[in-house]
Structure 1
Amino acid sequence: MRALQRRLAAFAAARDWQPYHTPKNLATALSVEASELVEIFQWLTPEESARVMEDEKSAARVEDEVADVLAYLLQFCEVLGIDALAALAAKIDRNEVRFPAAKR
């Protein structure tokens, strides 16, 4: 993941985009890209949504939007110095306490 963050930073630097990669702008862009992912599924039934990757064209759209969401999230984390994997692990730890598994 760190290598991808460096690659994204180099891509932005080569285009002089760093002034635009503020936390606010990156959070906004992340939201827009997440909305574009949601748009693909907007009018699908639950069954259709489960089969979305079976169609080559829709699968490509989903993969592109997932890539956009991840790219902006990684850039957001880079700018703010967040270790995304550590943040996720900590969140899972908190959720395990907050939402204990039902005993069977």
Structure 2
Amino acid sequence: MLTTGGCPKTMLSIRDALEALEGKWKLLILFSLSAGPKRFRQIGKEVTGITDKALSKELKSLEMNRLIKREVHDTFPPTVEYSITAHGMSLEKVMEELHYWGLAHRKTIFEK
């Protein structure tokens, strides 16, 4: 648990994390890739609702933040595969906690 309250250094690190993961797609893409390397279309099918344009943008951002790796295979036509990096896998506990929090949140907001 963070015990530093409104400490500027803590706020800065939280902001950095939020900027790297901002938007509704990035964590879902990382979750998809946590099962193993995938091609663009495979990710798009698993992350339902994402457009090709949004997926392309998010993959570039995740790669820039070194959370995923893009690998071009020397085939004809060229094959591109995306995989999660060790740095990206370090978010596994965060994703698990978000999963449990999301379950509890759904229960809370849909309780009557």
Task: Give the structure-2-normalised TM-score.
Answer: 0.29
Relative contact order (alpha carbons < 8 A, sep ≥ 6): 1 or 2 greater? 1
Structure ranking higher in helix proportion: 1
Structure ranking higher in strand proportion: 2
